[in-house]
Structure 1
Amino acid sequence: MINRIDQDFQFHQTALNLRVQRQELLASNIANADTPNYKARDIDFKAALDGALGKTGGGSLPLARTNANHLGLGGAAGGQGGNRSGATVQYRGELQSSVDGNTVNMDVERAAFAENAIQLEAMLTFINGRFKTLSAAVQP
């Protein structure tokens, strides 16, 4: 029973971590809207969650550490460029060319930021409800 609860919350923890990482990327894009040659970045949430849960389909083999001195999958920093979850950070395509080479489109970034914030809030509300249900189940 405890293992089932742990697995359920492990899924939610992974999903929350990916949502937070995406929120940080989107905030970084908005903050760098006026930075010359800045390229907007984002992650594909569904693909990242599938990858984090081991649902990758491409027949990829898991990596094994044969020596304790070898670095892990993400290197010493824990990921690609500080990427904690292992999600592939992609550059967003340019929708409208700019003279300074910046690819941030504020309308797209704000919409993605708001949508991700709503999804994050919904997940937290759902998890809170699960905790309340579990708490009520163990009360005498």
Structure 2
Amino acid sequence: MAISFAGAFAGHDKALEFRTARAAVLANNIANADTPNYKAKDLSFDALLSNESSKLHLRSTNAKHMSGSSLHGEPEGTMYRTPSQPSLDGNTVDMQREQAEYAQNSLQFDTSFMFLDRKISGMKKALTGN
């Protein structure tokens, strides 16, 4: 029986890709905190998940089964953040929020990496018998 890497990693590899992309967007927000008319951006995991799930084709074996389509219309990918206190120059970056989001994203990246590392370690042990 063959084991595919996609199945073995259980999505942790995709989570790392998302966390890396989100870190880049948040770092860009922090770097542009003093740029006039800069609009803060963020990536939505829900939008990414709905984009990925729309690629799946679910099989229905009964007419009473629910369809696999999404019911919400959230845009996919990068979204602009609604400012709580926009500045006079049109910049919508809130440094405290950006730093907190970046720190939280960093912790979530570390957690995903730890899970992926443990998956790989488990696969190595299964292959070597140690």
Give the alignment's TM-score, normalised by structure 2: 0.76
Aligned equivalents of 2:8, 2:127: Cα separation in 1? 17
Letter in 1 for 2:22: R
**8 A Cα contact 2:50 2:70, kept in partner:** no
Question: Which residue is 1:82 aligned to?
Answer: none
Letter in 2 for 1:7: G
**Higher relative contact order structure (alpha carbons within 8 Å, sequence separation ≥ 6):** 2
Q: Secondary structure at the match of 1:90?
A: strand
**8 A Cα contact 1:15 1:49, kept in partner:** no
Q: Secondary structure at the match of 2:11?
A: helix
Gaps of 5+ in 1: 60-86
Pairing 1:111–2:100 present? yes
Aligned equivalents of 1:2, 1:46: Cα separation in 2? 31
**8 A Cα contact 2:8 2:119, kept in partner:** no
Aligned equivalents of 1:90, 1:110: Cα separation in 2? 18
Residues 24-69 of structure 1: CA deviation (Å, up to 9, x unaligned): 000000000000000000011133134224467348xxxxxxxxxx
Aligned equivalents of 2:37, 2:98: Cα separation in 1? 17
Identical positions, percent: 37
Question: How many aligned positions are there?
Answer: 113
Pairing 1:39–2:15 present? no
Change (3 A) 1:2 1:115: farther
Letter in 1 for 2:69: G
Point out the more displaced range, 5-14 or 37-46: 5-14
Gaps of 5+ in 2: 57-67
**Over aligned residue pairs, what C-alpha RMSD do you find?**
2.1
Give the alignment's TM-score, normalised by structure 1: 0.71
Pairing 1:27–2:16 present? no
